[in-house]
Amino acid sequence: MTLEDWGWTAFFAEQFTAWSDKGLLPARVIRGEKNYFRVWTTSGELTVRFAGKIRHQADGRADLPVVGDWVAVEPQPDQRGLIHALLKRRNSFSRNLPGRRKGKGRERIEQQVIAANIDLIFIVSGLDRDFNLRRIERYLTLVGGSGSEAVILLNKTDLCDNPEQHRAAVMEIAGATPVHLCMARQQGQLDILTGYLQAGKTIALLGSSGVGKSTIVNGLIGEQRQKIAAVSAADGKGRHTTTHRELFLLPRGGILMDNPGMRELHLWGDEQDLVESFADIEDLSTGCKFSDCHHRSEPGCAVRDAIKTGNLPEERLANYHKLKGELSNLRQF
């Protein structure tokens, strides 16, 4: 294996020149644990931690290494090492850190970088009782602000009476984003993804627990690397089988990242991230009487008119307002 197999490009090589004469190695973070990382270098895999100066110099959590990052590592005995520098990211996708909603009487805001240097994101949704168009809109908005491309994968077609009908509904909100149907656990069903797998390109899986991400990982790798748990018959919801983020080198070429399922997906970014995920509403708004129309009760609102004529679902506009409100609130902090 080479650095290029793991996504090394001239963008990172140029940055690393400042460290190449100091006995450090370029390394990609391929797995994150609570107190350490696993990285891949030309000397093989190392277990590493980062130097205290990195934490000291960081302005926040977003400046610390995450899975997908390229770093400069000092190798140490027993396949261990120390991270001395974090190379600039080509892109990243983040969420507002969950579980820390209130502090001193007001909402607390903190960016959590989920992964870095991702070329393509498979947004995975199950066609079972957990299927939710509004959640897919949220994922599209998250990816829209990341700098990565997206593909929507509708899994578990065997649990849906009319998969094509669901695909059509998703295509109505997906814009130019490709939408595919599959049953990941059936051999050959993942062949539709082959065209997206390219040497040196990194693909991440994003979706709720139980949508089949681990099954997809196993299918693309060609062996059982990730644990799989059954979806609850009581509520149709999945359980967390993936507990950490990890990169896998694919036999067909490319790098695949599995992510733990996220029940809380608070947005991080700005209102511009809605332009692609809600392109239909943005296009309709050009016909509004007022250029600053909020699409609520203003006269001459082309967006509200589209709801009246049945050309725009009211639920989609409601979610647009909800997500726009979340992104707007981030600017207050």
**pTM for this prediction:** 0.86
Distance between CA atoms of residues 184 and 210, nearest Å: 12
pLDDT at 305 over 90: yes
Distance between CA atoms of residues 227 and 214, nearest Å: 7
Distance between CA atoms of residues 259 and 238, nearest Å: 14
Distance between CA atoms of residues 175 and 24, nearest Å: 45
Q: Is residue 81 a contact partner of residue 23, using CB atoms and an 8 Å limit?
A: no
Confidence of residue 102 (pLDDT cuts 50, 70, 90): low
Q: What is the arithmetic mean of pLDDT over 1-5?
A: 91
Q: In the chain, what are the domains?
A: 4-86 (2.40.50.140), 112-258 (3.40.50.300), 271-330 (1.10.40.50)
pLDDT for 269: 82
Backbone angles phi, psi at 300, to 5 degrees: 70, 30
pLDDT at 125 over 50: yes
pLDDT at 197 over 50: yes
In tens, the pLDDT along 126-163 reads 998 778 999 999 999 989 888 899 999 999 999 999 99
Give me the chain's average pLDDT, please. 87
Q: Is residue 80 a contact partner of residue 47, using CB atoms and an 8 Å limit?
A: yes
Amino acid code (one letter) for 333? F
- 156 token code pair: 């578990």
Distance between CA atoms of residues 177 and 165, nearest Å: 17
pLDDT for 264: 67
pLDDT at 225 over 80: no
Q: What is the arithmetic mean of pLDDT over 92-98?
A: 81
pLDDT at 235 over 50: no
Q: Three-class SS of residue 249?
A: strand
Distance between CA atoms of residues 74 and 116, nearest Å: 21
Backbone angles phi, psi at 291, to 5 degrees: -65, -25
